[in-house]
Structure 1
Amino acid sequence: METRLVNSAASAERDAYYSRIKVDNLAPLWTRLKSLVPPEPAALGQPHRWRYEEVRPHVFESGGLITAAEAERRVLILENPAFPGESRITNSLYAGLQLLLPGEIAPAHRHTQSALRLVLEGGGAYTAVDGEKTIMQEGDFVITPSWAWHHHGNDSDSPIVWLDGLDIPTVAFFNSTFREEHHGGAEAAVVRPTGDAMARYGSGLLPLDHRPDGLNSPVFNYPFARTRDALRALARAGAPDPRHGHLLRFANPVDGGWAMPTIATMVRLLPAGFSTLPYRSSDACVFVALEGGGAITIEGVRLEFGPRDVITVPSWRSYTLEATREAVLFSFSDRVAQEKLGLFRESHG
């Protein structure tokens, strides 16, 4: 009884102390330490799958509701169910599905966020980045660097849909969000011929006097045809990694680093019938199926996928991959940012 009274008196004294120091904007670390520095990352976000065949009608319906010029970017956001209203697919990344109809132009602007485009359906449209146009085909991975003028256009006779991935939440955390409208018309100036960046930097060659002027790869279109050939060659050369399959990362040809400074991009081939061992890492990851079919199982939650489906895996959740037929999966995460800060961790088991 006496111990309980002493504890009660001590608790009351502490509560009174906490109330007094709160007036001066102070708080006791010892009441928050374990939540601030937990033994492992908290569960942020939910595993989720967007079936392309289910969301595609909504994407195309938007084309009859608003023009690309009116919307500036006609995009449906892929919003993680754990973050309603926050425009996040993971805790640190944004994703959406953008539609551009024949004859449309999505007007030029620039912003501090870095962006990737992954073409899901259609081809023959273009994006213009920092003075150069590139024609986009299905499966292509295209980069829009931070603060680069860019616009999109569709001179083909078919609609095109691509997935946008941006580091919007990451940039917002640092309160470094800036944007600028292009006041010289809907299209930014194109000053270099199509294919210039690939010719200069994408063939194992570099101009003698090249000096990097940014953190992104100077190659801003990684064509799927070349990516697919590389995956086939890797598969012929040996067995798949037991946890990753035949996995490649998109690289900056200047320094061999990641292609983007804040978003890590990878692609893998899973042979038909292949299943990976469990794996988890500190980066929440977004997978996009480019070919084939299979499933991602995230701590008991099995999510099947087919072509163009999108699945998000929260950070530090153990998952396995399986291919019911040969599959190609593109993925992106904030791994590169975590690595630069010395924060990235992975667990094989």
Structure 2
Amino acid sequence: MQAHSIEPAQAQARRDYYERIDKQNLTPLWEVLGRLVTSTPTSPAVAALWRYAEIREPLLEAGRLISAAEAERRVLVLENPALRGLSAITQSVYAGLQLIMPGEVAAAHRHTQSALRLLLEGDGAYTAVDGERTTMRRGDFVLTPGWTWHDHGNPGKQPAIWLDGLDIPLVRFFDASFSEHSSVATQMQAKPEGDSLKRYGTNMLPVDYQPARVSPSPVFVYPYERSREALLGISHGEPDPHLGFKLRYVNPATGGSPMPTIGAYVQRLPRGFETRPYRCTDGTVYVCLEGSGYADINGTTHSFGPNDIFVVPSWNTLRIHATADTHLFSFSDRPVHQALGLWREARE
């Protein structure tokens, strides 16, 4: 509210008035309007980076302290330093690192929250979604859409570690969380591995398939091998000055995002390339799959390498300098912004 000079008696009268209405759970809008309707986004989240080399040992220690069966999901949550206690990396998105030791199973359950997995270490673990398994390899992007049965297992000899990304804070905001545990730990196989990718992931669809407007992708695994091949295939000519060579993952049946609440992206930055300053309203989580570089976020520089994770809050200015040929995976709540007509970007 714009400041005005008022008499002491009037100021006291207002204070008395505010105290009286406070007992009725009322607040004067004119006292808070400037904080509610801001000229630009003012996220309480802050930029942060988690170095995989520093997280890995505490995660493995958790594997020695608690079993996957006891924990249900053995995960270390990546909490934004400014949002501690909220299990959130941005105001609307959750991220964590999950560990499955050799021979372990994370039992089947389902929930209204949508989730993605990005395998960082330990090829050979699997995720099963509604009766179909997919073997996870490093860099693979795997979905478990809301209210689908899913379980995980590691029949290999090495620990499996992946990044979880969920819309937990968003679902919590809407008070719309439901969950259910399966009566069996591991789902019965209803389809052969690769079935959904063959049906929906080859520029074809079953002849009678009719997706709903907000259906999640019928493909639940996007192999990194394919994503990497696509990035290399388009990396000719001049890269976009703000984004490099960047692609978005899509629901192959609709062209929309893989899940209604979470968008996912992959980009290639050639060695020595530096992006121009860029801002957008969706707070974004980045993972380095290959290469290395520096992310300058609102003037603070964060160096990163393979498997490192960093977050860029809403409307923070981002510049990335690649010190090697670099591939970055990222995810955010952009589909929600776009559906509600809220999304904006600024390119300098």
For Structure 1 versus Structure 2, the TM-score category normalised by the shorter chain is over 0.9
Partner of 2:164: 164
Residues 291, 326 of structure 2: 8 Å contact kept: yes
> Once the 2 structures are TM-superposed, how far is the Cα of residue 29 of structure 1 from its aligned partner?
1.2
For residue 97 of structure 1, give the secondary structure of its aligned residue in structure 2: strand
For residue 64 of structure 1, give the secondary structure of its aligned residue in structure 2: helix
Distance 1:315 1:327 in 2: 23
Q: Which amino acid aligns with 1:330?
A: F
Residues 46, 81 of structure 2: 8 Å contact kept: yes
For residue 13 of structure 1, give the secondary structure of its aligned residue in structure 2: helix
Distance 2:264 2:294 in 1: 20
Partner of 1:296: 295
Partner of 2:59: 59
Aligned counterparts, 1:239-318, within 5 A: 239-318=238-317
Residues 92, 334 of structure 1: 8 Å contact kept: yes
More moved, 149-158 vs 171-180? 149-158
> Once the 2 structures are TM-superposed, how far is the Cα of residue 63 of structure 1 from its aligned partner?
1.2
Partner of 1:102: 102
Distance 1:258 1:110 in 2: 21
Distance 1:154 1:21 in 2: 59
For residue 16 of structure 1, give the secondary structure of its aligned residue in structure 2: helix
> Once the 2 structures are TM-superposed, how far is the Cα of residue 88 of structure 1 from its aligned partner?
0.9
- Structure 1 gaps, min length 5: none
Q: Percent identity?
A: 52
For residue 235 of structure 2, give the secondary structure of its aligned residue in structure 1: helix
> Once the 2 structures are TM-superposed, how far is the Cα of residue 18 of structure 1 from its aligned partner?
2.4
Residues 211, 254 of structure 2: 8 Å contact kept: no
Q: Which amino acid aligns with 2:229?
A: D
Residues 293, 323 of structure 2: 8 Å contact kept: yes
Number of residue equivalences: 344
Provide the alpha-carbon RMSD of the alignment. 1.4
Residues 44, 315 of structure 1: 8 Å contact kept: no
For residue 7 of structure 2, give the secondary structure of its aligned residue in structure 1: helix
> Once the 2 structures are TM-superposed, how far is the Cα of residue 190 of structure 1 from its aligned partner?
2.2
Distance 2:98 2:323 in 1: 29
> Once the 2 structures are TM-superposed, how far is the Cα of residue 5 of structure 1 from its aligned partner?
10
After TM superposition, where is structure 1 displaced by more than 6 Å over at least 4 residues in a row? none
Aligned counterparts, 1:187-198, within 5 A: 187-198=186-197
Partner of 1:87: 87
Partner of 1:117: 117
**1:7 equivalent in alignment to 2:7:** yes
For residue 17 of structure 1, give the secondary structure of its aligned residue in structure 2: helix
Distance 1:36 1:150 in 2: 39
Question: CA offsets, 1:43-77, max 9 Å, x none?
Answer: 32111111111111111111111111111111111
Distance 1:116 1:334 in 2: 12
Residues 217, 253 of structure 1: 8 Å contact kept: yes
Distance 1:5 1:126 in 2: 67
